[in-house]
A and B are shown apart, each in its own frame.
Chain A
Amino acid sequence: MPMSLESTLLFGDTLPGGATWSHVLKRGTALRITDVEGGANVAAYFLNFDNRSERFNLPDTLKAQHTARLREGHVLFSDMGRVLCSITEDTVGWHDPIAGISNAGLIEKKYGKTTYQQCRNEWYQNARDGFLIELGKYGMGPRDLHATVNFFSKVVVDDLGNMRYVAGNSPAGSYVELRAEMNVLVLLNTSPHPLDPSPVYGPKPVELSVSRVPMPMRDDRCRTLCPENARGFVLTELYFL
């Protein structure tokens, strides 16, 4: 996919299925995640790297933007009223913020038990353990893991509140781009979505690329999506004064 003319590619990487990744995405850079084969799921969690008690807050994000789905134009709010990341590009249109992540019990129940001893790196990994280990590398633990989002996956809710996973939401080549509005510790995990009905453990890889991008202007699409986002950007800019 061609990068915008003003952006400069800093690095690229491939994250295999079932893996965990973290990176301190600096203010003024953007992370693009590309679903190379189609059908990927990328669980994601975000913290302010400079003060890790400030984290992604799912309810604040949904309430401010009156949404239970994420797409281009939406932002990810911290618990402090600031914008961690903006979704500046998105070819999918629906990313799931409500169904949460897989854990060891869920993966074993669905796909069977595997051990590293038997399967080496083909063992079935889960998102919760992956996130906890990755948080541990920054001196954090289970208390620091709060609600997460699932990029490329879709879960709809009917009028009675019933949740339904929608397969085929993300064709091959789909991508989403997250612009960091703060210095954001981004954690990603590519385990299967916990509601994916496939009986076979087959998590998909994604391509990651980080670019330097222009700061959001006054008419930025994410800033102007709703008055709530405009106020979130004001609070974020105050933090960097």
Chain B
Amino acid sequence: MATLNFTSSLKPSSLMPETALHSFIVEAGEPFVFEILEGQTLRIVDLKGNQAVDTVFYNAKDYSDRYSAQDTIREQGNIYLTTGTKLLSTEGRVLLEIVADTCGRHDTLGGACAAESNMVRYDLSKRSMHACRQSFLKGIQAWKHGMSKSDLTSNINFFMNVPVTPEGKLTFEDGVSEAGKYVELRAVMDVLMVISNCPQLNNPCNGYDPTPVEILIWDKHV
């Protein structure tokens, strides 16, 4: 079993934003769908702090081969994602590897918020509030290629803190992220990235204030 020490997993990157091939701002409540090629490096920057970035990755050549939260945490023996984590697909491929992380802990058990789960979790009246799975559906419908709800699998929540206790309790805590913190991943193969920058207003996953994030992508040979 891997033993990940929270502070030792902190690792900054030497890549300079000026040399990035692409840069995008994704506002809270918006989907973002983009292909990342093998060898390219992706950085997600929590611009204002405490923002949850709900993300799923797919094998770019076969979307039915996609990120598997359960396989990823089991094979590394730890439920949190950080530097060194290999994101595994359902068919056992390494999609991406986390190569730098100034936050130190990312969740993959908490899933994505939805109109329906908000009704269950908070109140039946919350149905009309915006939610990640609204964004995910909008994003994949716009991307086309036959994607549908069946493709929306258990996701990663970058910058989100969902601790599990030894007694098996699961809680949503204040984020461990701050303005300017980032996570960086190298694509081990061509992948499709589907993001919902979380609009949740009912719990502390965004510090009750959803904010924009920055996406930077560097080419293979930087």
Contacts and interface: CB of A to CB of B under 8 A. Distances in A.
B172 A63 contact: yes
B176 to A, nearest CB: 12
Contact of B64 (A128, A142, A159, A162): A142
B121 A63 contact: yes
A147 B3 contact: no
B154 A105 contact: no
Interface size class of B (residues with CB under 8 A): 35 or more
Interface residues of A, number: 49
A66 B110 contact: no
Contacts of A157: 79, 164-166, 168
Contacts of A58: 109, 111, 154
Contacts of B153: 146-147
B150 interface: yes
Contacts of A235: 116, 119-120, 124
A144 B171 CA distance: 28
Interface in B168-205: 168-172
Interface string A111-128: 000000000000000001
B221 interface: no
A158 B166 contact: yes
B141 interface: no
Contacts of A146: 153-154
Contacts of A128: 90
A163 B114 contact: no
Contact of B70 (A101, A164, A232): A101
B71 interface: yes
Nearest to B3: A162
B44 interface: no
A103 to B, nearest CB: 6
B74 interface: yes
B168 A156 contact: yes
B64 A68 contact: no
Contact of A161 (B4, B69, B116): B4
Contacts of A100: 68, 70-71, 74
A57 B149 CA distance: 12
A66 B78 contact: no
Given A68-B164, A79-B114, A147-B69, A98 B92 contact: no
Given A59-B110, A79-B114, A143 B74 contact: no
B80 to A, nearest CB: 4
B169 A68 contact: yes
A59 B150 contact: no
Given A63-B170, A142-B90, A148 B70 contact: yes
B77 A67 contact: no
Interface in B100-122: 105, 109-112, 114, 116-117, 119-121
B117 A160 contact: no
B74 A77 contact: no
A104 to B, nearest CB: 9
Contacts of A173: none
A64 interface: yes
B109 A64 contact: no
A231 interface: yes
Nearest to A163: B77
A144 B150 contact: yes
Contacts of B16: none
Contacts of A194: 74
Given A64-B117, A146-B154, A163 B73 contact: yes
Interface string A56-86: 0111101110111100000001011110000
B92 A53 contact: no
19 contacts: A57-B117, A60-B111, A62-B170, A66-B170, A67-B168, A79-B117, A80-B116, A82-B116, A98-B79, A98-B109, A99-B70, A99-B73, A143-B150, A157-B166, A157-B168, A158-B166, A163-B79, A164-B1, A232-B120
Interface of A: 53, 57-60, 62-64, 66-69, 77, 79-82, 94, 98-101, 103, 105, 128, 141-148, 156-164, 194-195, 228, 231-232, 234-235
